[in-house]
Amino acid sequence: MELYVNFNLPKEAEEELGRYYKIVKGGDLSGVEVAFVYRLSPEELKKMPKLKFIQVVLAGLDHLPWEHIPPHVVVAGNAGSNADAVTEFALGLLLASYKRIIHYSEKMRRGDYDKNLEVPLLQGKKVAVLGLGEIGIRVARLLAALGAEVWGFARTPREGPWRFTSSLEEALRGAKAAVCALPLTRRTRGLIRYEHLALMAEDGVFVNVGRAEVVDREGALRIVKERPRFIFASDVWWGRNDFAKDAEFFSLPNVVATPWVAGGYGSEEVWRKMVMDAVKNLVAYATGGPVRNIARRDDYL
């Protein structure tokens, strides 16, 4: 079976896949039945009329040209492969912001030693976790272990050490902190608007480690400008990797920004793990084993 790969594979991945597939890296793709991709263009799709299965190395699938993918082609994502890394980062962004570590560390560098800002306890406080996928569940469990009153928001009920709600308003009302780990789908694009963020505590901390586009950009900008004690901490930005487009945010003292480094983009080690997890799924496809992370087409179209 021919496998098209359009990004640099680590050697161990190439060796493993070579046992099950004939790897094709370009040229004539007319015999390709399976594609292992990072991004995928409509032009590449056109060259693969026999395509049956697309394995994406990233956890998110929002960037695929869905309208060009025929309905019979199965698409698998890679959720979970970077979940541990992103969970660590999400908890780091939350605590660095919530415990005012960023604030105080910037002040200490400037030689300003005033203890001018209260460092609140997280224990016993309402914290919303938006999205109960591989990342959200892990984050919610750790927050519960820290003693926070965790509210889990998702489309489908999931049990755990949190109060479940399918109402975004209920999750955010009065919350001292929120961690967003929602996937970007047609249902979540622009879901979190100004009026939702405004439901949080005046000095609330909103953390995003999912996709920027889940949050309405103007709503986020308005809340941080209106509420100097509110903190917006995010690893993902609307300009994607063109961070200059969102520079307006980065200069604000109550914005904590990192350049999309929570998962595979920030770490060779995590990237390698992501590739190898995806390789396992490709081997499962080739050998008739159970294939994980199959996308729901109607989430995107």
Nearest one of 228, 167, 230 to 200, comparing CA atoms? 230
Nearest one of 72, 68, 71, 76 to 35, comparing CA atoms? 76
- Rule CB under 8 A: choose which of 18, 145, 166, 167 binds a copy of itself: 145
Q: Which stretch, 11-19, 57-65, 141-149, 220-228, contacts a copy of itself (CB under 8 A)? A: 141-149
Neighbours of 169 (CB within 10 A): 11
DSSP 264: G
- Residues from 149 through 208 that contact a copy of itself (CB under 8 A): none
Token code pair at residue 82: 């970077």
- Rule CB under 8 A: choose which of 11, 70, 123, 290 binds a copy of itself: 123
| DSSP 3-state of 141 | helix
147 touching a copy of itself, by CB under 8 A: yes
- Rule CB under 8 A: choose which of 91, 184, 192, 205 binds a copy of itself: 91
Minimal distance, residue 253 CB to a copy of itself, in Å: 9
How many Cα atoms are found within 13 Å in the side-chain-facing hemisphere of 178?
33
5 vs 142 by CB, closer to a copy of itself: 142
Q: Which residues contact 167 (CB under 8 A, 6 or more apart)?
A: 153
Minimal distance, residue 264 CB to a copy of itself, in Å: 10
Give the E-state strand segments of the chain in sequence order. 2-5, 22-24, 32-37, 53-56, 74-76, 126-130, 149-153, 163-165, 177-180, 205-208, 231-234, 255-257
141 touching a copy of itself, by CB under 8 A: yes
- Rule CB under 8 A: choose which of 67, 72, 109, 287 binds a copy of itself: 109
Contact between 281 and 274 under an 8 Å Cβ cutoff? The reply is no
115 touching a copy of itself, by CB under 8 A: yes
- Rule CB under 8 A: choose which of 33, 88, 170, 299 binds a copy of itself: 88
- Rule CB under 8 A: choose which of 262, 279, 282, 295 binds a copy of itself: 262
Contact between 268 and 80 under an 8 Å Cβ cutoff? The reply is no
Q: Which residues contact 45 (CB under 8 A, 6 or more apart)?
A: 51, 65, 68, 69
95 touching a copy of itself, by CB under 8 A: yes
Token pair 């159970």: residue: 290
- Rule CB under 8 A: choose which of 8, 30, 105, 167 binds a copy of itself: 105
| CA angle, 214 then 218 then 221, to 5° | 100
Minimal distance, residue 68 CB to a copy of itself, in Å: 30
- Rule CB under 8 A: choose which of 31, 108, 195, 226 binds a copy of itself: 108
Amino acid occupying residue 119: V
| DSSP 3-state of 20 | coil
Q: Which stretch, 6-14, 196-204, 223-231, 245-253, contacts a copy of itself (CB under 8 A)? A: 245-253
DSSP 52: -
- Rule CB under 8 A: choose which of 132, 257, 274, 275 binds a copy of itself: 257
99 touching a copy of itself, by CB under 8 A: yes
- Rule CB under 8 A: choose which of 93, 220, 274, 279 binds a copy of itself: 93
Q: Which residues contribute to the site for a copy of itself (CB under 8 A)?
A: 84-85, 87-89, 91-93, 95-96, 98-102, 104-109, 111, 113-115, 118-123, 141-142, 145-147, 243-244, 247, 250-251, 256-262, 265-270
